[in-house]
Structures are given as structure tokens and as C-alpha cells.
Amino acid sequence: MQPFLLIGQLLFGKLPFCSLIGGTVGVIAGSFLGLTMDAIMAGPLSWVQIVEIGLILALVGWITVLIVFGLWLRYGLAQLWLPAAINALLTAILTVWVNELVHITVLAPIIGLVIGLLIGIILCWFCPPFVRLGGWSITHAR
């Protein structure tokens, strides 16, 4: 177990909290999308279908983030629900769109992870400085 913790700390230890939420949603959206693209999608998607699929995957990722980070890790639902919803919407829709352009189903989870991490970093820039420096209970969990 120690090597996995070390690899996780090296890869994700310096990232802001929002990027971890985005990465989680991106992996979930990319995994589900990659599996369904490989199994049932034959033709290109329209913009309406991209948004619909993105909304469904965003909902699944958002609920997962609220359960894992908000309840199990005790970061609090009140602090997470709105930022996580915005992050999930942007991450899932962009993941669906980029995977539709690339259309390599094996790379869909990795593409989702990268998109989620980048969106989380960008969204973290819009937070007030006290939030990034630990003013919320996000940094004071447990």
C-alpha cells in the first residue's frame, strides 16, 4: 500500500483541492463514456447529444464527489455542493466533447483526468485568496 500512497502524493500532492474534484469527475465521465462509446456509439454526436451526455455524467460525478469528499472524508456538503457542481458540469461536458473529437475509447479516462485537473486548477484561480490558503473547512477536515 505504501508505494501507491507515495505515487499518489508525488502525482497529486501539490494540486489544489478543486483539481482533485475535477480529476475525480473526469475519470468517472471518461470511464463511462469510453465504455459506452466502445459498446454502442457508432456515429458522430450532435451538440445536443454532447450536452445531454455531459449533463448525465456530470450528475453521476457530482453525486460521487459529494459522497466521497463531502460525507466519507468529512469536508462538508455545504462547502462542496456548488463548486463541485460547476466543476462537474464543465469537466463532464468538455470530456465528452474532447473524446468525441479524439474518438480513442481507451484514452477516455486519461483525457477526462487531464481535463478535470486543468479545469480544477483554472477554477481555483477564481476563488478568493482566503479559500485557497485554507480559510474554509476544506483544509481542516477531521
Question: What is the rounded CA–CA span in Å between residue 17 and residue 10?
Answer: 15
Handedness of CA 113, 115, 118, 122 (dihedral sign): negative
Q: Does residue 64 carry a pLDDT above 60? A: yes
Q: Does residue 16 carry a pLDDT above 50? A: yes
Q: What are phi and psi of 93, to 5 degrees?
A: -65, -45
Residues found in the chain: 142
Report pLDDT for 133.
Answer: 47
Question: What is the rounded CA–CA span in Å between residue 60 and residue 62?
Answer: 6
Distance (Å) of CA 79 to CA 70, 75, 82: 8, 8, 7
Instruction: Locate all alpha helices (DSSP H) within 103-140, ordered by sequence.
Output: 108-125, 129-132
Question: What is the rounded CA–CA span in Å between residue 121 and residue 111?
Answer: 16
Report pLDDT for 124.
Answer: 85
Q: Does residue 141 carry a pLDDT above 50? A: no
Q: What is the mean pLDDT of residues 27-35?
A: 95
Q: What is the mean pLDDT of residues 67-74?
A: 90
At residue 137 the predicted structure's pLDDT band, cuts being 50, 70 and 90, is: very low
Q: What is the mean pLDDT of residues 92-100?
A: 96
Report pLDDT for 142.
Answer: 43
